[in-house]
Amino acid sequence: MIVEAAVSFFLVVGSFFLLVGAVGLARLPDFLMRLHAPTKASTLGIGGLLLASLVWFATHGLPGVKELLVTLFMFLTAPVSANLLGKAALHLRLKSRAPLPPPAPGADPDA
């Protein structure tokens, strides 16, 4: 019963983060903000689901090598792909709807 409670907890937490990421992707106004929500939330969401799978199969005598490999792959590729997409957006000079900070004193306003 403890194992089922732990698996249920990880499934609920992972599903919550995935839902938050999906809502952020649908509701945020521009590309850079939409990029931020799913990359952070999906990493935690998939991590929760993989932990649930790891706990479940570990208690049934099966090693969790696949879950560990998927977790490693997700934690390595999600930040790298988000970084590359963000750099491409900056290179293409996509406009953000976020308020800009005031320029530093003595800075060139056209830079």
For residue 105, is it within any domain? no
Displacement of CA 50 from its chain's centroid (Å): 14
For residue 32, is it within any domain? yes
For residue 18, is it within any domain? yes
Which whole-number Å values give the CA distances from 12 to 7, 67, 75, 95, in the listed order? 9, 18, 20, 36
The residue segments making up the domain with residue 8 are: 2-91
pLDDT tens, N- to C-terminus, the chain (111 residues):
899 999 999 999 999 999 998 998 888 888 888 888 888 888 889 889 999 999 998 888 888 788 888 888 888 888 888 889 889 988 888 877 777 677 777 766 665
Which contiguous run of DSSP H or E holds residue 52?
helix 31-59
Rg from Cα positions in the chain: 19
d(CA 82, CA 36): 8
The phi-psi region of residue 96 (left if phi > 0; otherwise alpha if psi is between -120 and 50; otherwise beta) is beta
d(CA 73, CA 68): 9
* pTM of the full structure: 0.74
Burial class (CB in 10 A: 0-12, 13-18, 19+), 49: buried
Number of domains the chain contains: 1
For residue 109, is it within any domain? no
